[in-house]
Chain A
C-alpha cells in the first residue's frame, strides 16, 4: 500500500507532468503531411500567382478579404521573388502560362532598370537600387534560363551580376543598395537577407556561365555568410533562419564545400527544424496556439520549408550531412502538411467576394501578401522533390518556347 506521503508525491508529479504537457510539450500537428496534398497546395499557390497579375506585369501585393481591398503598396524585391517562382513553375510543370506570367513580370523589371558602368540594377522610378531586388531578378532570369534554355537574357544576367559584385564590400558582405543620385553605394544600414540573395544569385550565375569567374565572389559571400554575417547583423539567436543562403550552399555543393560551410548548414538545419517543431506545436491545440503566440505568415513558414528543402538537397549530396537526411525529410513533410492545411481551397474561396484572390492563398488577419504564395509555392515544390527523393532542382528538360518579354 502506498502511504499518504507517497500518494502526495505521486499527485505532485502528476500535476508537474500536466504543467509540462501544457507549457513545454503540447501536442504537435502536421496538418496534411502527405505528398499529394502538398503537391496540390503548390499547384494552387502557383495558380494564385498567375491569376493575380496586372496588365503592367505587377502582381497583387496585398489583398484583404474582409474589406475586399487591394493595397496600393508595392515591393520590387518581392516582385522579383514572385517572378522567380513563376519561372520555377514554368520549368517544372512545363507550364507556358506560368512562363508568360513570369515574362510579364520580367518586362516590368526591365522597364525599371538603371544601367551604369557596365552593370544593371532594378530601381523602380530610378530611385534606390536595392541589392535584394537585383539579386532576385538575377535568380528569376537564371530560373527562366533553366526552364527554357533560352539565352536571350544572358547579357542581362551578367549585368546584374556585375551590379552585385560592385556592391560587395571589403569584408565580403554587401552594401544594402546603390544610390543613383549620388552614384555611390548606400553606406548606412544593412539588410539581413539581401546578402544571402546575392550569394545565391552569384552561385546560379557561375552555374550558368562556368569559367567566367563568378564563383570567386560567390565563395567570398559564402564565407561571409557562414562565418561573419550573424555577428555583423547582431542576430540575437544565430544562425539567422536564412533560406537564401541555404539555396546558395545547395547550389555550391557540387563545387565542394569547406568544413565551415557544412558546419553552418548543419546549424541552419537545426534552426529550421526547431522553428518547424514549434510551429507544429502551435498547430496542435488551441492551448499550443495560445502559448506559442498567434498565427504566423505563410511567407515565414514557407521560407523555413524552402531552406529545409535546399538543405535536404545539400545533405543528399554531401556525405558530411548524410545523418540529417531523414530528420530533414520528416520536418519538411510536417511543415508542408501545415501549409497545405492552412491554404484556402477552391471550395472555401467560393464564400468570398473575389474567389480568384482567395483560392490557393494563405491569409493572416484577413490579409494575404504575394510573398505568402511565393515562399509557400517554392517551399512546397521542393518539399515534393524531397518526398520523391528527387535531388536535381532543375527541370528534367527545358520547355520549348519562343516567348519573349
Chain B
C-alpha cells in the first residue's frame, strides 16, 4: 500500500462515517435535503480544516512536547481505542442525549456534529501521526478524500438508512470498529519498530 492509501484507510477508520451516520441523522432529522447537504458540506470543510491544521502543525507541536513522532504513534494508538471499543459495542461513534435530539441543525453543526463526531480525538491524532509519518501532502489528500466520502454519506443519510436499514448501518459501524483496532495496532507496531 502506498502512503496515500495507508493514510486514507487510517483516517477512514478514525472518522468512521458509518458510526457517525446515526448521530448525524438524528441531529439533522428536521432538516430538508438542501439544509442537510449544506450541513454535510460545512461539517466536511470544517473537519478538513481541523485535520489539515493538525497534520501541518504536527512536527512543531511534537517538538514543543519533546516527543518523537515514532513515540507519539504509541499514544495515538491508545487514543483510538475508546472509539474502537464504542464502535464495536454499539456500532455508533457517539450516543446522543434524547433531549438534545430535536436541536435545529444551525445550533449543532460545530459541536457535536463536527467536533467530536467527525473531527474527534481519534481522527485528530491519526492526522497528526500520518502527517509526521508520511508528510503533509498524502495526509491532506487522504483527509480530503475521507471527509468528502463522509459528507456524501451524511447528505444521503435518509437514502442510506432506507437502503441499508438501521441494522445494516449498525453492522457497518461495528466493522469500522474492527478496522480502527487494526489501524491502531498498525500504528502501535510501526511506532515500536520505527528507527
Contact = CB atoms under 8 A, between A and B. Distances in A.
Interface of A: 2-3, 5-6, 9, 13, 16-17, 20-21, 24-25, 27-29, 267, 269-270, 272-274, 277, 280-281, 284, 324, 327-328, 331
A25 B193 CA distance: 16
B46 interface: no
A6 B111 contact: yes
Contacts of B82: 16
B192 interface: yes
Contacts of A280: 68
Given A3-B100, A9-B116, A277-B71, A25 B194 contact: no
A277 B79 CA distance: 20
B116 A25 contact: no
B106 to A, nearest CB: 14
Given A3-B97, A270-B194, 19 more contacts: A2-B111, A3-B100, A9-B116, A16-B79, A17-B79, A25-B65, A25-B71, A25-B75, A27-B66, A28-B68, A270-B193, A272-B195, A273-B70, A273-B194, A273-B195, A277-B68, A277-B71, A327-B195, A328-B195
A83 B66 CA distance: 38
Contacts of A273: 70, 194-195
Nearest to B112: A6
Given A20-B75, A24-B78, A284 B66 contact: yes
B67 A25 contact: yes
Contact of A274 (B97, B111, B116, B193): B193
Nearest to A284: B66
A17 B76 CA distance: 10
Contacts of A28: 66-68, 71
A270 B82 CA distance: 28
B194 A327 contact: yes
Given A13-B121, A27-B65, A324 B79 contact: no
Given A3-B100, A6-B112, A13-B121, A269 B71 contact: no
B44 to A, nearest CB: 21
15 contacts: A17-B79, A25-B65, A25-B71, A25-B72, A27-B67, A28-B67, A267-B193, A270-B195, A273-B194, A277-B68, A277-B70, A280-B68, A281-B71, A284-B66, A324-B195
A270 B65 CA distance: 23
Contacts of B66: 27-29, 284
B187 interface: no
Nearest to A3: B100
Contacts of A2: 111
B74 interface: yes
Contacts of A13: 121
B127 to A, nearest CB: 16
Contact of A5 (B68, B97, B121, B193): B97
Nearest to A29: B66
A328 to B, nearest CB: 6
A58 B111 CA distance: 72
Interface string B60-94: 00000111101110110011001000000000000
A371 to B, nearest CB: 25
Contacts of A6: 111-112
Contacts of A324: 195
